[in-house]
Amino acid sequence: MSLSPQDLKQLFRRLLLIRRFEEEAFRLAVAGKFSNYHGGMGQEAIPVGVCYGLKPTDNTMITHRGLGVLLTRGVPVGEIFAGLYAKESCPTRGRHPIFHMAAPELGILAGTTMVGSVIPLATGAALAARIQGKPDVTISFFGDGSVNRGDFHEGVNLGAVRKLPIVYFCENNFYAKSMPLEASTAGGSIIARAQGYGLPSELVDGNDVVAVYEATQRAVARARAGEGPTFIECLTYRWTPHSTAGDREFSRTAEELASWKAKCPILRLRKQLIEAGHASAEELDAVDIDIQREVAEGVEFAEAAPYAAPEVALENVYV
């Protein structure tokens, strides 16, 4: 459970991979290379902290900002870029936006476009694990924008009442698209809702990858031991707009954004690693150069990849 210096360096690498990916994806979308990008820059500690300790058979269901989960669980960078370009060389073959792709062999059961619709689906995956007698745990990711949907309330209630092996994981970045939390969510607290369903819950600093990892591990252990769901609310902030399609900025202030950039999860871990003597600045810079090369190669792969042939549009409607 406790993280070694080697683990911390692995976490650093994963965080930085997502950041460099996010930066490049945002840049390419703005440049018109593909139609849209729903970035999660600034929130990298959550997918990394959650997924780092999972078993490959544990299931995750993702949100619009789930590309960090794909990267952390092992989907190649080039395939994800190919997905953004809607090319054939990605798991959806251009049939469906990459934000919601599935990779069942990596424990990624998919996401859905409808905010919060994954919560009942993830609950069902956990129900099936129980019925099948498997030790698998399901992580249901969702944002603060989901908690006013019926899917949230019905799904969490069902998971709670049946004590299913699931972690309900809320990434609270304080804005649902442009809607601030206080204007959308009565009662002023998301975690209070989980407590209303009788769920053990934790409020976690979502920009602290180690804290996210540890909270997840506690929740997963509870689920695996048959003790039922845990609700985790991580506080974080999205540096980029909801998407690159026309809604670049809204009500939040430059000061607010700057205050969260000061809490960058990557700089924070980098500082820890250096101060503890686990890594030198040069070593971490070398990691960065390596990652930037990996990202650039991923873009090249996607640019060169073909679109699927027209007949692919007609296939797989039914199994």
Partner 1 sequence: MARMSYAQALNEAHRIAMHDDPRVFVLGEDIGVYGGIYRVTKGLQAEFGEQRVLDTPISEIAITGAAVGAALVGSRPILEIGFVDFVGTCWDQVFNQAAKFSYMTDGRASVPLVIRMACGAGLGYGVHHSQSLEAWFTHVPGLKVVMPATPADAKGLLLAAIDDPNPVIFLEHKFLYEVKDEVPDGRYTVPLGKAWMAREGADVTIVSWSGAVPWALKAAEQAAAEGIECEVLDLRSLVPLDEDAIVASVEKTGRLIVCHEACTTGGFGAEVIARVVTRAFDFLDAEPLRVAAPDIPVPNSLPLEAVYLGTRERLLEAVRGIVS
Residues that bind partner 1 (CB under 8 A): 59, 61, 91-93, 95-96, 100-102, 104, 109-110, 112-114, 117, 119-132, 136, 150-151, 154-155, 157-158, 161-162, 315-319
CB of 107 to partner 1, least distance (A): 10
CB of 43 to partner 1, least distance (A): 24
CB of 5 to partner 1, least distance (A): 36
- Whose tokens are 């700057």? That residue is 258
Q: What is the rounded distance in angstroms from the CA atom of residue 307 to the CA atom of residue 117?
A: 29
Three-state SS string across 191-238, please? HHHHHHCCCCEEEEECCCHHHHHHHHHHHHHHHHCCCCCEEEEEECCC
Q: What is the rounded distance in angstroms from the CA atom of residue 140 to the CA atom of residue 237?
A: 19
CB of 158 to partner 1, least distance (A): 4
> Nearer to partner 1 by C-beta: 162 or 252?
162
| Nearest alpha-carbon partner for 100 in 80, 130, 76, 78 | 80
> Nearer to partner 1 by C-beta: 96 or 252?
96
> Nearer to partner 1 by C-beta: 5 or 104?
104
Q: Sort 149 into a burial class: Cβ within 10 Å, 0-12 / 13-18 / 19+.
A: middle
CB of 248 to partner 1, least distance (A): 28
> Nearer to partner 1 by C-beta: 63 or 207?
63
Q: What is the rounded distance in angstroms from the CA atom of residue 224 to the CA atom of residue 143?
A: 24
Strands 138-143 and 175-176, how do they pair? unpaired
3-state secondary structure of 186: coil
> Nearer to partner 1 by C-beta: 125 or 284?
125
